[in-house]
Structure 1
Amino acid sequence: MARSPLPPFPSADDGPASPCVRDCCLDEADVCLGCGRHIDEILRWRQSTPVERERILADAARRQDARRRKRSD
């Protein structure tokens, strides 16, 4: 029995590029201090569709903003 081919992974050309800034360090909530993504989002980035990547970027930006506001309080 022949296997069905797997669908291709989205490439970097399929939407937003990774926000990784090569400053990887996870906080106590498993969120990267460099890019603001949760570890689960980092791990599934390459398999994510462009729409999913946009949502991940928006969530990461909200996390980064919240972290900056907390530090300035």
Structure 2
Amino acid sequence: MSKHQKSFQLTIQQIDLIEEAVRERIGILAHVVLASGDANSEESRANDGQIRDLNELLGSLHNQKIFYSQVNRTGVPGG
């Protein structure tokens, strides 16, 4: 049985591209819900679920980023 790779090597530009594509897809799904006018339809509920999943993906990508800031001699980020 094959195992999934646990880590990936992506550049900042590749991560940005993924985030832009996910945001674009969220916009398309949200537009479909608004254009249908029926937020209780089966399609709208399915789109809401996909939007939620995509937002969780964006959150996961954000939480895995390492943000660097200037650190002074005490090891505390300076402002």
Please classify the TM superposition score into its range, dividing by the shorter chain length: 0.3 to 0.5
Which structure ranks higher in relative contact order (CA pairs < 8 Å, sequence separation ≥ 6)? 1
Larger Rg: 2
Greater fraction helix: 2
When normalised by structure 2's length, the TM-score is 0.41
